Amino acid sequence: MPKRVIVIGSGIIGASIAYHLAKGGAEVTVLEAGETGGVATRASWAWINASWGNPESYFRLRIRSIAQWHTLQKDVPALAVDWCGGLIWDLPANELDAYAAERAKWGHPLTPVSRAEILALEPNLTTVPERAYRAPGEGMLEPLATARVLLDAARALGADVLAETPVKWLAEEHGRVVGVMTDVGVIHADETVIAAGAQTAKLLDSVGLSLAMSAPAGLLSHSKPAPRLLNGLVMTPGLHIRQTAEGRIVAGTDFAGADPEGNAEGLAADLQAKVAAMVRGAEGLGLDFHTVGYRPTPADGFPAIGRPNRKNGLYVAVTHSGVTLAPALGLFAAQELLAGTRDPLLATFSPDRSGLA
Ligand SMILES: Cc1cc2nc3c(=O)[nH]c(=O)nc-3n(C[C@H](O)[C@H](O)[C@H](O)COP(=O)(O)OP(=O)(O)OC[C@H]3O[C@@H](n4cnc5c(N)ncnc54)[C@H](O)[C@@H]3O)c2cc1C
């Protein structure tokens, strides 16, 4: 008998878990409170990276997930990832060099680039430094479309994906989670996966478990579409920019966006003005819209993935950087739920670790 698994949430994390579970032979039902494709996911800058300031265990998980994106693209040809690489000069020179040295030590060097090389890569940039680094293995994607492609791939393997179906609480019997309560009653399952982004702690609370997390706000501006002006991801001090598949330049004070603090229109207009000053050809583009997203973030900033409190029938997967991490977390969750094996790369990312539970 295949395992029946409910996945709560159809953002990029739930979609990847659903796909990997269905591929592993599970009978999967995705329950989504709203439209499919996620909440944080659709507001993401969607940079696939193994960027700076992280401990080695987290860096290794991110590198593994980048590799799993490539595997996924072979399995699901409709997935469109642009492996454009990133140009980085958003840190003071000494920190940038320290980051490059750390990456080299860990076997994934960055490429130093001169001003001339930066301009060869991005001829439309107006203000560039004497030197920067390039991260060749980085990429970007369109996050909502990507989550939906993964959901379609899960469907093709037999998964049910139900939109507008909020889970009210987790259903528990004799200390085991046996499914979920919805508007149409209890839906039973052998395993229930919470991939509900910022709503994760609320669902855990329904069975008396806690997870310390926050959901910081981040605003991104989207220009009107333009012909190709940028070739890759550009990370400069106070301005991260990339151009989407449909030609919009998406900008944040950094990839995560700043808290608009009540002045979203003002912040979006400022960002668009910076884009116009930075990118030749973007002067007359104008702002089309802005988004404010909320990044689901466990309290210590790292992913929380596994069985909370060893609760039978329950699994949780919540993280920021979910666009980068979705492939690995999806694969590892499916392996743990279906074969009982926990990937060693998850060793430090239990939801029960100190400070979270
Ligand atoms: C501004 C911004 C920039 C970012 N930039 C990057 C980046 O450059 N690179 C990167 O890797 N990551 C980035 N992130 C983070 C990344 O987008 C998130 O980590 C990721 O989208 C989280 O996906 P998720 O599926 O966990 O959450 P979500 O996309 O929020 O999906 C959770 C889903 O669960 C559903 N749900 C919640 N409660 C229930 C319920 N009770 N019943 C049924 N369904 C429910 C919600 O409706 C939602 O659809 C960024 C995020 C933001 C906001």
* CA atoms of 40 and 147, how far apart (whole Å): 11
Can you give the pLDDT at residue 184? 93
**What are the helix (H) ranges across 157-286?**
200-205, 264-278
Q: Give the DSSP H or E segment for 188.
A: strand 185-188
What pTM does this model have? 0.98
Q: How confident is the model at residue 317 (pLDDT cuts 50, 70, 90)?
A: very high
pLDDT at residue 53 tops 90: no
Q: Using alpha carbons only, give the angle 308, 309, 313 rounded to the nearest 5 degrees.
A: 65
Q: Cα(351)–Cα(341) distance, rounded to whole angstroms?
A: 16
The dihedral through the CA atoms of 245, 248, 253, 256 has a sign that is negative
214 pLDDT more than 90: yes
Report d(CA 132, CA 111) in Å as an integer.
9
Mean pLDDT of 85-99: 96
> 74 phi and psi, to 5 degrees?
-70, -40
Domain annotation for the chain: domains and CATH numbers? 4-49+143-213+298-346 (3.50.50.60), 86-136+216-294 (3.30.9.10)
Q: Please give the pLDDT value at position 51.
A: 85
Angle between helices 12-23 and 322-339 (to 10 degrees): 30
Span from the CA of 133 to the centroid of ligand 1 (angstroms): 29
Tokens 């591929």 sit on residue: 23
- Rounded average pLDDT over 130-157: 97
Q: Determine if residue 5 is left, alpha or beta; phi over 0 gives left, psi from -120 to 50 gives alpha, anything else beta.
A: beta
Residues at CB less than 6 angstroms from ligand 1: 8-14, 31-34, 38-41, 43-47, 166-167, 195-199, 203, 218, 220, 255-257, 293-296, 318-324
pLDDT in tens, 259-312: 999 999 999 999 999 999 999 999 999 999 999 999 999 999 999 999 999 999
Work out the average pLDDT over 157-181: 98
CA nearest neighbour of 320 among 154, 197, 158: 197
